[in-house]
Amino acid sequence: MSDQTIETLFAEDRRYPPSPEFAAQANATADIYDVPFEDFWAGEGRKRVTWFEPFTSLLEWELPYAKWYGGGKINVTYNCLDRHVEAGLGDRVAYYYEGEPVGERAAITYSQLLEEVVKAANGLKALGVGKGTPVGIYMGMGPGLPVAMLACARLGAPHTVVFGGFSAEALADRLNDMRCEVLLTQDESYRRGQIVPLKRNADEALVSCPGVMKVVVGQRTRADVPMVEGRDLTWNELVEGQSTDAGSCPCEPMDSEDLLYLLYTSGTTAKPKGIVHTTAGYLVGVATTHSMIFDLKPETDVYWCAADIGWVTGHSYIVYGPLCNAATSVLYEGVPDFPDKDRWWDLVERYKVTILYTAPTAIRAHMKWGPEHAAKHDLSSLRLLGTVGEPINPEAWMWYREHIGLDRTPIVDTWWQTETGMVLITPLPGVTTTKPGSATKPFPGIEAAVVDDRGEEVGPGGGGYLVLKKPWPAMLRGIYGDDARYRSTYWERFSGMYFAGDGARIDEDGDFWLLGRVDDVMNVSGHRISTIEVESALVDHPSVAEAAVCGRNDALTGQAIVAFVTLMRGEEGSVERLEELRNHVAVKIGPIAKPANIVFTPELPKTRSGKIMRRLLRDVAEDRPLGDTTTLADPAVVAEIADRAVAQPADE
């Protein structure tokens, strides 16, 4: 029996120190790690944002609630738009917008964005929206979405964005929990060439949302959708005749701790959690991390975070962080492979993107499709790559560097959560020696650790539970309306520490390696093995594009490892390939980690945000009825996997 909380067996020896050329121009320098916690965050609070009234205290910490930048008055929209236009940056492009239909595009300047936000805010004000009015937003990826968010923030009206791929039931749950009075939506949106019926879904949701009194409908496809008299109005009707002058709708001065937005977790296993994010600390946190981690040069960079604004990545690193930093961003409506598998690389070439931030699942999808799609395009403008989401397999990291970064760009592999609001563990380009698959070090001003079951820190090389030992500015301020759940979920497992729910290890250099959700740790013959390590070993094989691993009950070993594997294009599954992959895992990790079963499948079950839903794979592995599939991008995938799941002989 191992004495490690989580065993760490997969070794990765490749190292990539920063180039002298990049280091010479980098925003971050090594000495910022030496700045004391209070000095660091006080300094960033003064440097990154503009205050109506300066803060008088940095932090009040009464576990588990923090208050940052006390006494300060601020407005998020003023920081994202007005001050840039006042500074003469109105002609700078805020967003290069690219619709999914080919050829539909626009360049939106900071002046234009401010005018649209002011018109929308004046229109919302005429509907009775003001400071404290809760507003729901259910829209596709387009300029209307940041306009809606920023109009709410201008008025001091807290918002909740519901991802446009969510069902009517998911929308209703969130609108009711926040007690939303207004819903901003669209007629329809596009996804992979198909129509997403947003207004139809909204109408279905609103049957059970009596608190929603007004619905504003943006006209994306100009489809003829039902409108309820007295309740519904079009976006054009909302803004018709409204002034575009910023002075006609002054930004509401907000206390530092006033609510900015709620963002709900997906709720696949329980009632969705409304994660509370407030104003000043959140904005300082996302602006600081966005500038340092992505080495942003706002005068010259074209930055693209290829996420959806409906998720926290989009809130923090498409809307609030980049706009606060006066960045120029790409805003893309569609998916990576519509109409062709080179769509992303066409956008990189067209807009001369310099910074690309995306998820490991997207990278592995491009791996599966093959490097020839990227090779057709000039990607030489790229100078920095980033990853976000689940831990990245080393081979996916290497593929990203070699085929997209042309074997020269730094990669920042970032760890954070909806709850953290901002990146917490990450390399700093120009400072950090990177390692494929490692998120490396906590960001300056962040104190993270890995602990065992007793809450004691494990030594270098040991695996355990990732915790945070000090508060940080963008941290969640609770679960909306549920203090007891907030305390029990995040603070009661380890006394005085925030428990992230993830496993991790720290190597001999002090670098962090994420091991996935602790729920995904498998107990095989007394060894606690993380799914990410077995998946990394499988993806290390040149024939494997993507892999997901889970445990199934086994009378002999406690749990047996079941692997679901997607092969590279042109490769086929066979008994010989199955044994080859099992033996490959044994070589990379050890015989204890050899999968008992391997199921070859063309696709893995993923949520609409691209995360692999291992809960459903466990259902398949245990031959149980499938759980809730409503959040899947393609529910039919799981049924196909279940049909393919033929047991292979267990390892001796």
pLDDT score, position 8? 61
Q: Is the pLDDT of residue 526 over 70?
A: no
Q: Is the pLDDT of residue 98 over 60?
A: yes
Q: Is the pLDDT of residue 516 over 90?
A: no
Q: Is the pLDDT of residue 649 over 60?
A: no
Confidence of residue 230 (pLDDT cuts 50, 70, 90): very high
Across the strands, what pairs with 439? Answer: none
CB 221 within 8 A of CB 188: yes
Q: 427-481: per-residue pLDDT in tens? A: 999 999 999 999 999 999 999 999 999 999 998 888 899 999 999 999 999 999 9
pLDDT score, position 607? 74
pLDDT score, position 183? 98
Tell me phi and psi for residue 309, to 5 degrees. Answer: -60, -20
CB 36 within 8 A of CB 237: no
Instruction: Quote the CA–CA distance of 161 and 148 in Å, as a whole number.
Output: 10
pLDDT score, position 1? 35
Domain boundaries, the chain: 519-644
Q: Mean pLDDT over residues 10-28, rounded? A: 92
Of the candidate ranges 208-217, 336-345, 457-466, 622-631, the one whose mean pLDDT is the lowest: 622-631
Q: Is the pLDDT of residue 650 over 70?
A: no
Of the candidate ranges 84-98, 106-120, 551-565, the one whose mean pLDDT is the lowest: 551-565
DSSP alpha helix (H) spans, 352-495: 360-369, 372-375, 394-399, 483-490
Q: 31-44: per-residue pLDDT in tens? A: 999 999 999 999 99
Tell me phi and psi for residue 330, to 5 degrees. Answer: -95, 135
Computed over every residue of the chain, the mean pLDDT equals 92
pLDDT score, position 123? 98
CB 232 within 8 A of CB 217: yes
pLDDT score, position 496? 94
Q: Is the pLDDT of residue 17 over 50?
A: yes
Q: Using the 8-state DSSP alphabet, how is residue 406 labeled? A: T
pLDDT score, position 469? 97
Instruction: Quote the CA–CA distance of 277 and 175 in Å, as a whole number.
Output: 17
Instruction: Quote the CA–CA distance of 186 and 218 in Å, as a whole number.
Output: 4
Q: Which of 413, 612, 603, 451 is nearest to 520 (CA)?
A: 612
Across the strands, what pairs with 241? Answer: none
Confidence of residue 520 (pLDDT cuts 50, 70, 90): confident
- Helix 531-539 to helix 575-588 angle (10° resolution) is 120
Percent of the chain whose pLDDT exceeds 70: 94
Q: Is the pLDDT of residue 293 over 70?
A: yes
Q: Is the pLDDT of residue 67 over 90?
A: yes
pLDDT score, position 9? 59
Of the candidate ranges 342-346, 474-478, 486-490, 588-592, the one whose mean pLDDT is the lowest: 588-592
CB-side neighbour CA atoms (13 Å) of 601: 27
Q: Is the pLDDT of residue 204 over 50?
A: yes
Instruction: Quote the CA–CA distance of 119 and 422 in Å, as a whole number.
Output: 30
Instruction: Quote the CA–CA distance of 457 and 462 in Å, as a whole number.
Output: 9
Give CB contacts under 8 A, 24+ apart, made by 146-149.
146/95, 146/113, 146/309, 146/318, 146/319, 146/323, 146/331, 147/113, 147/116, 147/117, 147/120, 148/120, 148/184, 149/261, 149/309, 149/315, 149/319
Q: The pTM is what? A: 0.87
Confidence of residue 2 (pLDDT cuts 50, 70, 90): very low
Q: Is the pLDDT of residue 592 over 90?
A: no
Q: Mean pLDDT over residues 119-129, rounded? A: 98
Tell me phi and psi for residue 79, to 5 degrees. Answer: -70, -30
Confidence of residue 648 (pLDDT cuts 50, 70, 90): very low
CB 7 within 8 A of CB 458: no
Q: Is the pLDDT of residue 611 over 50?
A: yes
Percent of the chain whose pLDDT exceeds 90: 76
pLDDT score, position 267? 45
pLDDT score, position 266? 61
User: Which is higher by pLDDT, 620 or 115?
Assistant: 115
Question: What CATH number belongs to 519-644?
Answer: 3.30.300.30
Q: Which of 9-13, 591-595, 629-633 has the highest mean pLDDT?
A: 591-595
For residue 134, the Cα-to-chain-centroid distance in whole angstroms is 23
Query: Helix, strand or coil for residue 332?
Result: strand
Q: Mean pLDDT over residues 305-334, rounded? A: 97
Phi-psi region of 267 (alpha: psi -120 to 50; beta: other; left: phi over 0): left
User: Which is higher by pLDDT, 639 or 182?
Assistant: 182
Q: Mean pLDDT over residues 397-401, rounded? A: 97
Residue 509: Cβ within 10 Å count? 12
Length of the chain: 652
DSSP alpha helix (H) spans, 445-548: 483-490, 531-539
